[in-house]
Structure 1
């Protein structure tokens, strides 16, 4: 009998789906896989796709490090990612922590692109820990990438697994997770997502390293979500969720080992709900971009074969309007440099004629004062609803 079986009886390397997964968790799991496929199957403009990747890479790096106490803001992390953040010597270690996590994420994607093996092994886990601790101030008893030899307290709540068992536990964890991921049939993808969550939890339980265990756990989870078919942007969602709900994150982790029967049901549902919510937000962002592209194409079609100077101004004007908000008429000439040039030397009645033309084409909605003068306008993107399937309002059925 190994010592951890006495000190950490909750580490059983088993998952009773009948007890730990209720109907809501199964629905969330199916929804998460479906949303991952939705995101993966949407073509985006290369510039938009690149920006989306950068945004969620910085979110992931910010979340993974902030949970551990890094004080850089999300904006500062993005600037660090863009090589546009110079920190004073006293704070440079904060930037190094971010650099290391980004390196870990990029290594996973690099190996994926190059079709290199990314199987989870103790060696791979140690490599992740070496990366997250690279070039950081040295700590007594901590060797990056090497399993600890002494005891460690996890958040002042409980002690990590006995040091002498850590090597064995890492191997047992990897074998168990491989078995979960080997599930065949329609449950293959859902079980792979569950394996990613369990990998995070067991790494936190084992706490195999002197430092960097949380960051290592989230790199493991990221890799396993990628292996479960999550697009790279979607694989950052869980880390962002944990960071935005840090108090609940810590509570759910604590409850898994607080008392018998050591249930992980609450943690699984908490993680899956956050995953679904984050994926929903990403889909909304992608849909908004698709709407923008459709609107631009629609406007160009409306002005097809209309190449007079007036039509050119009107097309530029409607495309420069911000969707979802009213633009004051007084700001029309300032919406873009191209519009400023187009209206240079033109009288105000020219603006009035252009606005009336766009209103007659049903391309804008306007607000008028008591005298009937147009005071504000917005693009009539509701026109695009005609190209979308009819959906009943469930509340009105």
Structure 2
């Protein structure tokens, strides 16, 4: 699978730099798709059309849609801009980046916990996995960042991004917003390595959650890495379609 993806990536790289109008179109498309799907996976009820209207026209949706759901959309786009800025500045993931990214995700939703590691133990409903005890969160996050820095020259970048996502969710460092933050950090790693961002579709939520559970409970990460790989492959196809 990686072999086929590398061929597509080489083709994409050969067409860089992309024209500004193509980049703008791709940016709009990925902002809406990523924001809608990542929020929907976490239970946000705004449709993709409503998400697009909020992002591109700044309008508020009626019909009983909550302020929180609107803020989740606005914050997610700001978080995408943040990771793109990190990549453009040639910076990498640090504890500060993780906390700043999370603070954007929860801005005006839960300011008390935004960007702050949790201070109590948590349970994940519907999961057999118990995240690490809160007293160990900082230590485990330090270990994750050390693992990342040691592995980034060794592992294939898509595998690296997928495993970082899994290990981050396994720790569950914050009270809320872990899934969105994990997917954005995964995409930061992909962008840093010249890949387009991976969109985990809401319609694939069940398969995605099952693969995360399998990795968390049994340590079997193959299915999860495969899901992320397919998502990257699909994004590469989107880029190449735009360049025809």
Give TM-score, length-normalised by structure 2. 0.89
Distance 2:48 2:14 in 1: 28
Match of 2:200, SS? helix
Partner of 1:218: 183
Question: 1:227 Cα deviation (Å)?
Answer: 1.2
Distance 2:19 2:138 in 1: 46
Gaps of at least 5 residues in structure 1 are: 1-27, 184-189, 288-397
Partner of 2:2: 29
Matched-pair contact (CA < 8 Å) for 1:104–1:131 = yes
**C-alpha distance after superposition, 1:153-207 (max 9, x if no partner):** 2243132111111101111101101111123xxxxxx622221111110111000
Match of 1:98, SS? helix
Question: 1:275 Cα deviation (Å)?
Answer: 2.2
Distance 1:133 1:216 in 2: 10
1:152 and 2:122 are equivalent in the alignment: yes
Q: Using a 3 Å threshold, how does the CA distance of structure 1 residues 221 and 110 change in structure 2: closer, same or farther?
A: same
Name the count of aligned residue pairs: 241
Matched-pair contact (CA < 8 Å) for 1:134–1:144 = yes
Distance 2:201 2:138 in 1: 27
Partner of 1:341: none
Partner of 1:258: 217
1:274 and 2:231 are equivalent in the alignment: yes
Could you tell me which of 173, 183, 200 is aligned with 1:208? Answer: 173
Partner of 1:227: 192
Aligned counterparts, 1:365-380, within 5 A: none
1:106 and 2:81 are equivalent in the alignment: yes
Q: Using a 3 Å threshold, how does the CA distance of structure 1 residues 40 and 62 change in structure 2: closer, same or farther?
A: farther
Q: Pick 1 or 2: higher relative contact order, CA cutoff 8 A, min separation 6.
A: 2
1:131 and 2:104 are equivalent in the alignment: yes
Distance 2:24 2:13 in 1: 14
Higher strand proportion (structure 1 or 2):
1
Distance 1:159 1:53 in 2: 37
1:121 and 2:94 are equivalent in the alignment: yes
Gaps of at least 5 residues in structure 2 are: none
Give TM-score, length-normalised by structure 1. 0.57
Partner of 1:193: 158
Partner of 1:310: none
**C-alpha distance after superposition, 1:355-396 (max 9, x if no partner):** xxxxxxxxxxxxxxxxxxxxxxxxxxxxxxxxxxxxxxxxxx
Distance 1:111 1:227 in 2: 9
Distance 1:38 1:70 in 2: 36
Aligned counterparts, 1:61-76, within 5 A: 61-76=35-50
1:248 and 2:211 are equivalent in the alignment: no
Matched-pair contact (CA < 8 Å) for 2:75–2:105 = yes
**C-alpha distance after superposition, 1:58-103 (max 9, x if no partner):** 1111111111111111122222221342234852221110111111
Match of 1:256, SS? helix
Match of 1:210, SS? coil
Distance 1:102 1:41 in 2: 29
Computed over aligned residues only, the root mean square deviation of the Cα atoms, in angstroms, reads 2.1
Question: 1:133 Cα deviation (Å)?
Answer: 0.3
Matched-pair contact (CA < 8 Å) for 2:162–2:228 = yes
Distance 1:37 1:103 in 2: 30
**C-alpha distance after superposition, 1:288-323 (max 9, x if no partner):** xxxxxxxxxxxxxxxxxxxxxxxxxxxxxxxxxxxx
Q: Using a 3 Å threshold, how does the CA distance of structure 1 residues 120 and 74 change in structure 2: closer, same or farther?
A: same
Distance 2:157 2:235 in 1: 18
Partner of 1:80: 54
